[in-house]
Amino acid sequence: MSFELPPLPYSKDALIPHISPETVDFHYEKHHRGYVNRLNLFSKDDQTLPTKSYEELIRTNYGGPRIFNMAAQVWNHTFYWNSLSPNGGGEPKGKIAQLITSSFGNFETFKTKFSEAAAGHFGSGWAWLVQNADGSLEVLGTHDAGCPITDGKKPILTCDVWEHAYYIDYRNDRARYVASWWNLINWEFANSNLA
């Protein structure tokens, strides 16, 4: 038994013109696959490791930081790919739209707050839309492999702000990458994650 790289939910060229096939290929095949491969290397020392889900490894911090970081990065990246859709973007519909309005006042306020969290994040990490236990939505950032499920928050959407997510296409212009990210948001996925 071993960990496997979850498949992309679309082809590597599906996110053009916002994210190039080269970026998707490098990000998915080198970085995402690399985290899976390292977890499998760690499994040689602990054969119970692959019997645990990524969520369990993240929630329990099983094996300490080196295993947590790899498991969280696999989970975060899988969640990121699913947060994007070639048919995404635009304003939200359904329950997510209602919760955004009740939590932030309106979509534009939410978009500004999320964009600031993503573009302004210092160093490497993630910008998240999460749902709290009371049902409200919140924007937050996590550093490195940080994942909101460690704090009991339910992830709804994420934007990867590690440089490998955008450097090929946008160089060091993270704000332009974040602006393009809005054209790909998978609101159906967001709705499916709501409690």
Question: E-strand spans in the chain?
Answer: 125-131, 137-143, 154-160
3-state secondary structure of 93: coil
Would you say residue 179 has pLDDT above 90?
Answer: yes
Please report the pLDDT score of residue 8 as a whole number. Answer: 98
pLDDT band per the 50, 70, 90 thresholds, residue 1: confident
49-82 confidence digits (pLDDT tens): 999 999 999 999 999 999 999 999 999 999 999 9
- Please list, in sequence order, all residues whose beta carbon lies within 8 angstroms of the beta carbon of residue 42, skipping any fewer than 6 positions away: 49, 63, 66, 67, 70
7-61 confidence digits (pLDDT tens): 999 999 999 999 999 999 999 999 999 999 999 999 999 999 999 999 999 999 9
Question: E-strand spans in 7-136?
Answer: 125-131
Q: Provide the residue count of the chain.
A: 195
Please report the pLDDT score of residue 60 as a whole number. Answer: 94
Tokens matching residue 86: 């070639």
Cα-Cα end-to-end distance for the chain: 32
As a whole number, the mean pLDDT across the chain is: 97
Would you say residue 5 has pLDDT above 90?
Answer: yes
